Amino acid sequence: MASSTAAAAASSFMGTRLPDIYTNSGRVQSRFGFGTKKSVPKKSAKRNSDRPLWYPGAKAPEYLDDQNLSKNSAGDVIGTRTEVSDVKSTPFQPYSEVFGLQRFRECELIHGRWAMLATLGALTVEWLTGVTWQDAGKVELVEGSSYLGQPLPFSITTLIWIEVLLIGYIEFQRNAELDPEKRLYPGGKFFDPLGLASDPEKKATLQLAEIKHARLAMVAFLGFAVQAAVTGKGPLNNWATHLSDPLHTTIIDNLTS
């Protein structure tokens, strides 16, 4: 208990990743697994906890029981993990009944990866073309589809269908993977051609760096969206405006004007 409490106390918003979290943990049933029988997942026994709390007298949610103290690390799985032998899922079974909080950690990482791409894309497009990310679609509709200034032989509708089919197929294949580690970090020659994650210690460091950047990117893009709604400008334009008059061009001035 003392070591677990120390691990939780040492963690922060960014988290501290603990290696070998999946060792001897077994395989977890996937969302799209098929089975003929359904058994009720076993619930861990409740016990009193002396975990550190945010403020005195606070009551921790039931799903944040003591088993999470040693697993509360960035990018890893927290919450109850149910073995395949205990759960026979169906396509209609709620994801949370199989994974618990693992589903939320998985969504956090996937959304963070999209946010990193979106943040980089928004900044790059405005820097190279002067077009803000929220107006990029309008340009495509007026001038036709193009990439790096070169016209594409596809209409916007065709490009949308290509994206939906490709991403849909990729997501279906990803969710069909039973192993949560492989589902989030597939690796291999396609996703890790340089072998950067071949060393377990280096892999843990890269995973921690990824979740930190993912969380930062999600917050950053939320800021981009708020800026676009309030000022109608892109992030680089807003930044330049703020630098030109930092005392009178702030979030408070924009929201109250």
Burial of 17 from C-beta contacts in 10 A (0-12 / 13-18 / 19+)? buried
- Over residues 199-212, the mean pLDDT reads 90
Q: Are 145 and 152 in contact (CB under 8 A)?
A: yes
Q: Is there a binding annotation on residue 210?
A: yes
Q: Are 69 and 8 in contact (CB under 8 A)?
A: yes
Q: Is there a binding annotation on residue 143?
A: no
Task: Domain 104-256: state its class.
Answer: mainly alpha
- Return the closest-CA partner of residue 223 out of 212, 238, 213: 238
Q: Is there a binding annotation on residue 113?
A: yes
Q: Residue 27: what pLDDT?
A: 41
Task: Look up the pTM and report it.
Answer: 0.60
Q: How far apart are CA 4 and CA 146, in angstroms?
A: 54
The 10s digit of each residue's pLDDT in 120-146 is 999 998 998 888 999 888 877 777 777
Is the confidence at residue 254, as pLDDT, over 60?
A: yes
Q: Is there a binding annotation on residue 227?
A: yes
Q: Are 7 and 18 in contact (CB under 8 A)?
A: yes
